[in-house]
Amino acid sequence: MARFKFANGAVLRPDSAQVTRYTPVAGSDHNSVAIDPVYNRIVHRYRIDGTTWKYSLYDLAAFKAGTFTPLATITQPSVLTGPTFQGYVSMGQYLYTLDGDAYDYDKDGRQTTTSNTYVTSIDWDGTVYERRLSNAGKTLFYREPEGLAIQIPNTGNPTAARLHLGFGSEESLSRTDKKASFYYKDLLV
C-alpha cells in the first residue's frame, strides 16, 4: 500500500520520494484499506496463503508512523462467500461489508433478477452481528453495489455518522449512460 499527498497536476511514479509505502502483513496480497473517520482508525483487508481473507484494525496515527500492531484481526466470516464482495468500511466496534450482484436483464430490457445486495455488520471480536438484504435503490435500472463509506454530516457530532452504499447504474441497456447513485443509513448497529 502507498500513501501520498494530493497535488493538483502532479505526476508521481511508484519510486517518487513523495510516496510512502506500507507493508503491514508480509506476504499478503489483494491489499486494500478503509478509514474510520470517527475513531481515527484504518482497516486493512488482505489475503494470505492465496485463500484466507483477513481484516486488521489499526490506530491510524500508529499505522502512518509504521507501527503495525493491530487492535483486532478477524478472518472474513463464511457468510460472506455468497454474492460478489463489493466493499467494506469500519466505524467503532463494527466492520460493515457489502456484497451483491447487478440486476440481469433480458434482450428486451426486462429485469430478470431481484436484489441480492447484503449489508453485514461484524463485531471486531469476529461475531456476525447482523446480515440484511438491502433494497436501497431497488428501482434503478442496472443496479450494481460498488462500495461503502462513512460520512460525517456534522463534524460537531461525529458519532451521528452515516453508512453510505454506492451503486453503479445506467438508464438503459446501451451501457453508455453510466451513473453513480448513493444511499445512506443513519441508524447503524
- Give pLDDT, residue 142: 84
pLDDT confidence tier of residue 189, bands split at 50, 70 and 90: low
Residue 134 has pLDDT above 80, yes or no: yes
Lowest mean pLDDT across 7-11, 80-84, 97-101, 120-124: 80-84
Half-sphere exposure for 10 (CA within 13 Å, toward CB): 11
pLDDT in tens, 4-48: 999 999 999 989 999 999 999 999 999 999 999 999 999 999 999
Amino acid sitting at position 29: D
Q: 76-104 b/e with 16+ CB inside 10 Å = b? A: bbeebeeeebbbbbbbeebbbbbbbbbbe
Single pTM value for the model = 0.90
Let me know: does 19 contact 3? Beta carbons within 8 Å. Answer: yes
pLDDT, the chain, mean: 91
Closest-CA residue to 100 (of 128, 139, 142): 142
pLDDT in tens, 143-159: 899 999 999 998 888 87
Q: How far is residue 3's CA from residue 25's CA, in Å, rounded to a whole number?
A: 16
pLDDT confidence tier of residue 114, bands split at 50, 70 and 90: confident
pLDDT confidence tier of residue 128, bands split at 50, 70 and 90: very high
* Residue 176 or residue 99, greater confidence: 99
